[in-house]
Structure 1
Amino acid sequence: MKDWLELLNDANVDLSEYKEKEINDIDKAKLKNSLRRKVLKSKTNNMKKIAVASMAIISLITITNSKVIADKFEKLISKNPIENFTNYEEIIGANYRNIVDQTVTNNGVSITINEVIFDYKEILISYTVSGENIDAKSITLYPKIFINGEEIKRGGISGTYSDNDDQLHQFSFEPREHISKVGEFDMKIVIGGKYDFEQDKIIEEGKWEFDFKVSNVAINESTQIFDIDKKINLSNGSSIYVSKVTITPVSTTVEFEVENIPEEELAKSLSIGCIIEDSKGKILKQISSRGISYNYLDKKGTAVSKFRNVSENAENISIIPTILFDLYYDEKNIYNQELQQNKIEIDIN
């Protein structure tokens, strides 16, 4: 996990939230440049790092003589970063995260939106739930998400909780239509009321609403997309295309296309995946997969597998497509033996 000083150096902050006291543009520039120089310089020595950062904080608060600056500084550091969740412990950098830290209490339940991260075709939301009459670990939330006033229809949805804290949860939301626009957005998250998924009664009877600004600029600048379009023909007459690989600081996504798969093979719960290894020797663990969506008339389909992020400073990755039956991978299966002869190498630096 990144330490708090590195998070400070990279994090996004919306200073427009704070209206208590204004400082002029010249003073803002001086403060920003001074803090950046001191934090960057401090990387050479851990003790010096603490001292310099502390001096920067004191300088900020003393110059303005206002609590608002301390509040702004607090928002630079995420209290509950995504690294608390399995599959995201080793993510790279922190400048892609949007720290929200907003809490709303209703119906005896307090919900805090901690972070929002745009990760390729998903929106990851970290939140905390607490209350005297709830089991925070098992409680189920299905938020509605609005961007610039428009509700984002979902294509996929999932949730989990942190092994480090039963009150800390993560929600993964896949928009039905990919958000291609890059920039800053007004986001609203609404929790509560009736939903097409069954929720806990205490959640259905309440309402929690959050409004804040988010940005996907930083993570898009750090995202690499490789159009592979490699076709692999198998002895059963079917073909697998590795169509696209997307690498972000948070995850690695491989997209496939398939065609002419025999129906008797599909009946065996056939699914498509891959094994990914980077140049640092790290075999990426799979986070999730979307099974084959197959059109029997066209005899074509698609599949997606999402993995953990590639190691920092890795120079390349290798991908071996796989076929699984009933979610089981048999490397001695004839099709997998054929696929092993079609390893894909991608230079990423």
Structure 2
Amino acid sequence: MKDIYELLNDLNIDENEFEEMEVNELEKAHIKRSLKKEINKKKKRNSWKKSVTAASIIVGLSVTTFVAYPAYAGNIPVIEDIFRFFDNGKPGFYNNKKENSQNKETGLYYDYKKFSSELNITKESNGVKITINDAVFDGKTLTLTYTIESEQDLGNADITMPRITGMKAYGGTGKTSKIDTNKYVGILTVSNIEDKKLDVAHINWDIDHIQNPDNQTVIKGDWKFAFSLNATDSKIQLTDGIAEKNGVKVSIGKISFNPMSFTVYYDQEVTEMVKNKWDGVDVELEIKDDLGNIYSGEDNGGMRKDSSYHVSGSKTFEKLDPNATKLIITPHITLRDYNSDNFASVEITNDGKKEISLPEKPGKGKEEFVLEDIIIKIQK
């Protein structure tokens, strides 16, 4: 399927037929980000000149307006909400999923806005304003979006994660992106690793500092949020899928389905032989269904159990095709060594931080391999 830039190239354009349309800051930011990705990607191909010509139509515009060609305005990918801003690929186009007969728009966060609660709770401290925009909870995983306004540069601001009452073991991930001068948007997830499922999430998000990871500057303040969310409808399917090879075993214990996505929960175990040779083991799950759809997803983090090699984690994928009857899960394994380029270990002493040398192991660089497919029949 052609992307938006190829569609623009195919048009016979009369500049008198353009009309200006006001757009918000999110839409401007997404256009800039999409342009950069497309130009960089096309430069690697022989057809890059064609792409840049089409892209220049938008580059030459004022940053406060967006030109819309009336007959094709519906094809231009703009941001509808913060969830979609952080979506995989370009909103409105199939990037990671096979086109089906319905030709529906897709993406990991495509339906999150629809099922979320609009909160718009704002706290301000030390010249920084933080707003929780929308949030959704499926019984095990909380996903929320936020906006930050600050007179200081925050980079990809690091912020502490929320806590959910009654949730003892959880993983989480977060992203922050600058969309304009002094303005940022972010998304985060907190996922329960335990078997426990909650009907209502009582959430406390106490932020006492924001750190800029680029220059390690810290802004201290007092941003405290407290709110509750009812869980969306969801169904948990228990599974016993296992794949094992070269001393690494991946077990799929359960899958949680909700109206906007599904989450796969897995365990990673390794043998003593692997532990003695390699410093770390990473598992990446690739998922497709029996219709040919390939699902994009985001890691929710995980919890290490009796050793650093035994991990319980989860990963959330985009909405399941309702016509699918099977999921084919392919675990991709990476064995790696830790060195100064990819790992740093420190010990806090009275004199400050002290770097710790890791014990030498025979495994060098990395080794990659793929386990056999784990096929899960979906319970309807």
- For this structure pair, what is the TM-score category when the shorter chain's length is used for normalisation? 0.5 to 0.7
Given that 1:239 and 1:258 are in contact with CA atoms closer than 8 Å, whether structure 2 keeps it comes out as yes
Q: 1:174 to 1:254 in 2, by over 3 A?
A: closer
Deviation string, structure 1 residues 103-143 (Cα, Å, up to 9, x no partner): 22222221111112224543222110113x22254333225
Q: 1:239 to 1:187 in 2, by over 3 A?
A: closer
Supply the distance in 2 between the matched residues of 1:224 and 1:255 (Cα, whole angstroms): 17
Residue of 303, 317, 330 corresponding to 1:308: 317
When structure 1 is superposed on structure 2, of 113-122 and 96-105 the one drifting more is: 113-122
Q: 1:86 to 1:244 in 2, by over 3 A?
A: same
Given that 1:84 and 1:162 are in contact with CA atoms closer than 8 Å, whether structure 2 keeps it comes out as no
Letter in 1 for 2:124: T
Instruction: Report deviation, 1:187.
Output: 3.8
Alignment partner, residue 9 of structure 1: none
Identity across matched positions, percent:
19
Alignment partner, residue 122 of structure 1: 141
Q: 1:262 to 1:247 in 2, by over 3 A?
A: farther
Alignment partner, residue 295 of structure 2: 284
Larger proportion of strand: 2
Residue of 230, 236, 249 corresponding to 2:241: 230
Deviation string, structure 1 residues 40-59 (Cα, Å, up to 9, x no partner): xxxxxxxxxxxxxxxxxxxx
Q: 1:256 to 1:103 in 2, by over 3 A?
A: same
Q: 1:146 to 1:226 in 2, by over 3 A?
A: closer
Unaligned runs of 5+ in 2: 1-79, 89-106, 337-364
Supply the distance in 1 between the matched residues of 2:275 and 2:206 (Cα, whole angstroms): 45
Equivalent pairs counted in the alignment come to: 250
In the alignment, structure 1 residue 346 sits paired with structure 2 residue 377: yes
Instruction: Report deviation, 1:160.
Output: 0.6
| Aligned counterparts, 1:96-135, within 5 A | 96-119=115-138, 121-131=140-150, 133-135=151-153
Q: 1:276 to 1:186 in 2, by over 3 A?
A: closer
Given that 1:129 and 1:136 are in contact with CA atoms closer than 8 Å, whether structure 2 keeps it comes out as no
Alignment partner, residue 224 of structure 2: 209
Alignment partner, residue 139 of structure 1: 157
| Aligned counterparts, 1:1-349, within 5 A | 80-87=81-88, 89-92=108-111, 94=113, 96-119=115-138, 121-131=140-150, 133-142=151-160, 144-145=162-163, 147=165, 155-162=170-177, 167-174=184-191, 180-183=197-200, 186-192=202-208, 201-202=218-219, 204=220, 206-216=221-231, 218=232, 221=233, 223-234=234-245, 236=246, 239-248=249-258, 249-258=260-269, 260=271, 262-263=273-274, 267=278, 269-288=280-299, 290=301, 293=304, 295=306, 301-316=310-325, 317-326=327-336, 330=368, 333=369, 336=370, 339-340=371-372, 342-349=373-380
Deviation string, structure 1 residues 271-313 (Cα, Å, up to 9, x no partner): 33332102442222342275794646xx983343414224442
Q: 1:260 to 1:160 in 2, by over 3 A?
A: same
Q: Secondary structure at the match of 1:313?
A: coil
Q: TM (normalized to structure 1)?
A: 0.57
Given that 1:113 and 1:127 are in contact with CA atoms closer than 8 Å, whether structure 2 keeps it comes out as yes
Q: Secondary structure at the match of 2:84?
A: helix
In angstroms, what is the RMSD of aligned CA positions?
A: 4.1
Supply the distance in 1 between the matched residues of 2:249 and 2:202 (Cα, whole angstroms): 43
Supply the distance in 2 between the matched residues of 1:238 and 1:128 (Cα, whole angstroms): 41
Supply the distance in 1 between the matched residues of 2:314 and 2:277 (Cα, whole angstroms): 18
Supply the distance in 1 between the matched residues of 2:203 and 2:127 (Cα, whole angstroms): 25
Given that 1:293 and 1:302 are in contact with CA atoms closer than 8 Å, whether structure 2 keeps it comes out as yes
Supply the distance in 2 between the matched residues of 1:92 and 1:194 (Cα, whole angstroms): 30
Given that 1:156 and 1:176 are in contact with CA atoms closer than 8 Å, whether structure 2 keeps it comes out as yes
Q: Secondary structure at the match of 2:132?
A: strand
Q: Secondary structure at the match of 1:167?
A: strand
Given that 1:116 and 1:123 are in contact with CA atoms closer than 8 Å, whether structure 2 keeps it comes out as yes
Q: TM (normalized to structure 2)?
A: 0.53
Q: Secondary structure at the match of 1:315?
A: coil
Given that 1:246 and 1:253 are in contact with CA atoms closer than 8 Å, whether structure 2 keeps it comes out as yes
